[in-house]
């Protein structure tokens, strides 16, 4: 099975002449909580597209859904930090939390392009996000600010009118919703999230109510 599908021909710089032009993957979301599928996707995309780093960007208020269970943003950020510890390619960026309000991807990418004009950004999306992409704020602008990367996900179509690099990842049927439901019903979340995240959730009593 092919690892990377190119529906168009975006410039994936697998061999770079300018060593300062880092290639950065962007993974946005509520991460409520972050889980092992998030980490798997980030690792697979980073490897297959030869990215220098992947930045996890937790949103403050998502525009298309509510943050379930009223978990504090600092808890969501801390769980990301615990989950990615030990991987030098991964980091968390909290500028959306500091900015407050509704977190629009287009605003975040404009900020990043201004702050890091020498970097090339790759916006990593699951197929479910790709299916809603046309409903996002200024999707055409987003497509000019970052290379769009779609990760195949079961039960979602890979059809889109936007230029997209499609990356195959191993199937991993985990969701934050499933984890929250397991906690509320006193079922195990071991091996669904990193152990440090599981311990943090248990210590803080998150998602119990």
Query: Model confidence at 170, in pLDDT bands (50, 70, 90)?
Result: confident
**∠ at Cα 190 (30, 192), nearest 5°?**
40
Q: What integer pLDDT is reported at residue 61 of this predicted model?
A: 87
Instruction: With a cut of 60, say whether residue 14 has pLDDT above it.
Output: no
Instruction: With a cut of 50, say whether residue 130 has pLDDT above it.
Output: yes
Burial profile 76-93: b = 16 or more Cβ within 10 angstroms, e = fewer: bbbbbbbbbeeeebbebb
Per cent of the chain over pLDDT 90 is 71
Q: What integer pLDDT is reported at residue 71 of this predicted model?
A: 86
pTM (predicted TM-score): 0.87
Task: Give the integer Cα–Cα distance in Å for 20 and 119.
Answer: 8
Q: What are the pLDDT digits (tens) for 46-73?
A: 999 999 999 999 999 888 776 666 789 9
Per cent of the chain over pLDDT 70 is 84
Range in 87-91, 102-106, 127-131 the model is least confident about:
127-131
- Ordered by where they begin, the domains of the chain are 4-8+21-204 (3.40.50.620)
Q: What integer pLDDT is reported at residue 20 of this predicted model?
A: 65
């Amino acid at each position: 099975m092919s690892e990377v599908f190119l529906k168009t021909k975006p410039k994936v710089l697998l061999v770079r002449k300018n060593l300062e032009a880092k290639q950065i993957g962007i993974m946005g979301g509520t991460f409520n909580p972050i889980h092992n599928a998030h980490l798997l996707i980030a690792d697979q995309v980073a490897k297959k597209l030869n990215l220098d780093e992947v930045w996890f960007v937790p949103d403050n208020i998502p525009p298309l859904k509510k943050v379930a269970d009223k978990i504090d943003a600092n808890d969501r950020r801390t769980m990301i930090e615990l989950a990615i510890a030990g991987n030098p390619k991964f980091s968390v960026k909290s500028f959306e939390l500091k900015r407050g309000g509704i977190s629009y991807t287009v605003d975040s990418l404009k900020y990043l392009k201004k702050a890091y004009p020498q970097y090339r950004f790759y916006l990593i999306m699951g197929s479910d996000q790709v299916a809603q992409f046309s409903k996002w704020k200024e999707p055409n602008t987003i497509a000019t600010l970052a290379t769009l990367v779609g990760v195949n996900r079961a039960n979602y179509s890979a059809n889109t009118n936007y230029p997209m690099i499609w990356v195959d990842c191993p199937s991993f049927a985990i969701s934050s919703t499933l984890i929250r439901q397991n906690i509320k019903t006193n079922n195990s979340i071991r091996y669904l999230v990193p152990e440090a995240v599981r311990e943090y959730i248990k210590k803080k009593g998150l998602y119990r109510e």
